Amino acid sequence: MIVKEGWPFVLVPGVFGALVGHLTKKKSLLAGGLGVSAAMAYFFRDPDRYPPFDRELILSPADGKIITIKKEREERFLETEVYRIGIFMNLFNVHVNRAPVTGRILEIYHERGSFLPAHKEEAFERNDKRYYLIERLDGTPILVIQITGLLARKTIPFVQKGDEVLACERIGMIRFGSRLEVLFPAEGARIFVNLGHKVRAGESPLALLPWRENG
């Protein structure tokens, strides 16, 4: 399956290559157009995923490699000590992002910034990004941040403020190589990943965060 936002990138090169190739009688143009279309179809692929059934798990919102695991204070949205886990997506990873928990979208906020290479830690502070604040069913706030990179210059939300989402449900994507961060309260959390681990969106558990008793 191909995500619908990718179809223009898939169809246009193929149609253009076929048209120009036919008019000029150059098979190389046809082959080139079809090659670009195939590459775009691969990039915009959107495979089904099957999450583990455990309401206390924080699932990976992205495919890629773990590049950051930090315990720090987050004052802007969560206002508490959090774990921040960063995931780098290269050009060959699936770029559809998924909800790490079941809950409700409290806020979506776009912040303009730079386009530094996404694997650099300074990209977390300086790059263009989109925030998704999700409230888990027990009231626990979870923050997902899409961060653009040197080539990835557009974040695309699939959800709106107020939407209810299931764990593993598609919430957005970033075009062409990028980074994603997930932040959640540190108290009681057990981290399941290490730096360098490869993860899959909607399927790989990043951590276990105990359910609030009043949730």
CATH number at residue 109: 2.70.70.10
In angstroms, the CA 47 to CA 49 distance is 6
Is 104 found in the same domain as 78?
Answer: yes
Is 150 found in the same domain as 116?
Answer: yes
pTM for this prediction:
0.84
Domain that holds residue 18: 4-43
Is 200 found in the same domain as 153?
Answer: yes
pLDDT tens-digit series, residues 140-188:
999 999 998 776 568 889 999 999 999 999 999 887 668 899 999 999 9
DSSP symbol at 99: -
In angstroms, the CA 153 to CA 148 distance is 5
Positions annotated as catalytic residues are 178
Is 153 found in the same domain as 204?
Answer: yes
Q: Percent of the chain scored above 90 by pLDDT?
A: 54
pLDDT of residue 22 exceeding 50, the answer is: no
Is 62 found in the same domain as 124?
Answer: yes
pLDDT value at residue 34: 58
pLDDT value at residue 7: 47
pLDDT of residue 103 exceeding 90, the answer is: yes
Report the number of distinct structural domains present in the chain.
2
In angstroms, the CA 63 to CA 60 distance is 7
pLDDT tens-digit series, residues 51-88:
998 999 999 999 999 999 999 999 999 999 999 999 99
Q: Which residue has the tokens 């694997």?
A: 119
pLDDT tens-digit series, residues 42-59:
556 678 899 998 999 999
Q: Which residue has the tokens 């695309």?
A: 156
